[in-house]
Amino acid sequence: MGLCDLWITLLVAAQSRPVSPRPRVAASPCRRVPLPPFPFCPYPASVPTDRFIDQRKSSWQRLEELLALLDRRTLRRLHREEVRELGHIYRRTASDLAIARAESRDPRLINYLNSLVIRAHGRIYRAEAHGGQRIRDFFLRELPRTFRRTWRYTALSSSVFFLFALLGFLGTKYDPEFSEIVGVEPAFRELKIETKTHWWEELNESNQLGATSIFTHNIQVTIYTFAFGALFGVGTLFYLAYNGAIIAAVLALTYRAGFGNDLLTFMAGHGVIELSCVFIAGGAGLLIGSALILPGDLSRADALKTRGMEAVRLMIGVAVLLVLAGIIEGFISPAPISSVVKFAIAGITGLALYAYLFLAGRD
């Protein structure tokens, strides 16, 4: 028999002993004087104590089970339904304590509920962990779980990018003038493409400066991709389409000029992580847009709050990945090393990244 069962058995037994009748109103000796209702009080103030215990003991037992579960794991590792249930039962038990203090003459019931509420309050509101532990939990559990919950938005983001990339590549490969439609400047074609200039190799002259400028540019692209989601998601879709088309158009121009493999080799090393950052940021932007257009059963404010938190988690992960992509693009991609090595780096980083996102944090 658990602690909750023992207390409840004793309390019910205590109700069977004779007690002195409580004072009654003279005009109505058979009717109790109701007390003012308490906030969030689920029962009227005149419910007898034994009936009150019978009706509420299963809820108290469930709260004890959830608290015992919290003794073995942190609050963040509970399932979402268990967290909601914990909060709901905690509030109801606090209301039960208020009723017991007003209506019950048995201090054991009051002490039991008081200790249960204090214990639940301490477990819910105490600090989950120190800073280092919270950071580890975020990257080992929360981030990959958030990615898996929102993978459809990331998939839509990447699909739009690749669709317009295919359009930009095929259109430019067929007619170089098409590149101007997607945003490639005519001067770029004259100064870089027609002269077969390997402009990316200039990063070798000053790796630190090159890595810094690349990192800044990558941040700008991902922030725009995410932030334009506030335009009901349309801005994010447009920016994804634009970037996909212009990158593919430049690649097609280099292939027409005869040095496309050189550019592709340069892009391979950092490309997997960099494009993944764009796709995840696009998915985060679409989360914001979907909350505005399709909030579902929630109000728009609640949908923005819920999906906005998911989007923020994704963008924190993107920020870390951008650092890695900038380092590779600034120091490894322009280096005069074998193309096999660069494609191997692309394969290894891609495999490691998506193994982490799809497998980490699973129970």
Q: Which residues, 6+ apart, have CB-to-CB distance to 96 below 8 Å?
A: 42, 52, 56, 59, 60, 113
Euclidean distance between CA atoms 279 and 122, whole angstroms: 40
Q: What is the pLDDT of residues 84-121, one digit of tens each?
A: 877 788 888 888 888 877 776 677 788 788 888 887 77
- Where among 87, 107, 128 does a domain terminate? 128
Give a yes or no: residue 22 inside a domain.
Answer: no
Euclidean distance between CA atoms 8 and 60, whole angstroms: 10
Q: How many domains does the chain have?
A: 2
Nearest by Cα to 43 from 104, 95, 107: 95
Looking at the structure, tell me whether residues 142 and 118 fall in a common domain.
no
Looking at the structure, tell me whether residues 157 and 268 fall in a common domain.
yes
Q: What is the pLDDT of residues 125-138, one digit of tens each?
A: 664 545 577 788 88
> Span 165-191, mean pLDDT?
89
Q: CB of 226 within 8 A of CB of 282? A: yes
> Span 230-249, mean pLDDT?
91
Give a yes or no: residue 223 inside a domain.
Answer: yes
Looking at the structure, tell me whether residues 104 and 141 fall in a common domain.
no
- Where among 108, 128, 148 does a domain terminate? 128
CA dihedral 337, 340, 342, 343 (to 10 degrees): 170
Euclidean distance between CA atoms 237 and 224, whole angstroms: 11
Residue 18 has pLDDT above 60, yes or no: no
Looking at the structure, tell me whether residues 195 and 252 fall in a common domain.
yes
- How much is the mean pLDDT over the chain? 79
Euclidean distance between CA atoms 179 and 250, whole angstroms: 7
What are the two backbone dihedrals, phi and then psi, of residue 336, each rounded to the nearest 5 degrees?
A: -80, 65
Euclidean distance between CA atoms 275 and 218, whole angstroms: 10
Handedness of CA 94, 99, 102, 104 (dihedral sign): negative
Looking at the structure, tell me whether residues 262 and 294 fall in a common domain.
yes
Q: What is the residue range of 111's domain?
A: 3-10+33-128
3 state SS of 25:
strand
- pLDDT-derived band of residue 36, with 50, 70 and 90 as boundaries? very low
What are the two backbone dihedrals, phi and then psi, of residue 22, each rounded to the nearest 5 degrees?
A: -75, 155
Residue 358 has pLDDT above 90, yes or no: yes
Question: The tokens 């009706």 sit on which residue?
Answer: 55
Looking at the structure, tell me whether residues 325 and 298 fall in a common domain.
yes
Looking at the structure, tell me whether residues 150 and 115 fall in a common domain.
no
Residue 209 has pLDDT above 80, yes or no: no
> Span 318-346, mean pLDDT?
86
Tokens in use for 130? 């120190």
Give a yes or no: residue 28 inside a domain.
Answer: no
CA dihedral 51, 54, 56, 57 (to 10 degrees): 150
- pLDDT-derived band of residue 5, with 50, 70 and 90 as boundaries? low
The set of long-range contacts for 28-36, using a CB threshold of 8 Å and a minimum separation of 24, is 35/102, 35/103
Q: CB of 134 within 8 A of CB of 128? A: yes
Looking at the structure, tell me whether residues 302 and 234 fall in a common domain.
yes
Looking at the structure, tell me whether residues 92 and 149 fall in a common domain.
no
| pLDDT (0 to 100) of residue 89 | 83
The secondary structure of 198-230 as a DSSP string is: -GGGGGGG-HHHHHHHHHHHHHHHHHHHHHGGG
Looking at the structure, tell me whether residues 204 and 320 fall in a common domain.
yes
Higher-confidence residue of 208 and 154: namely 154
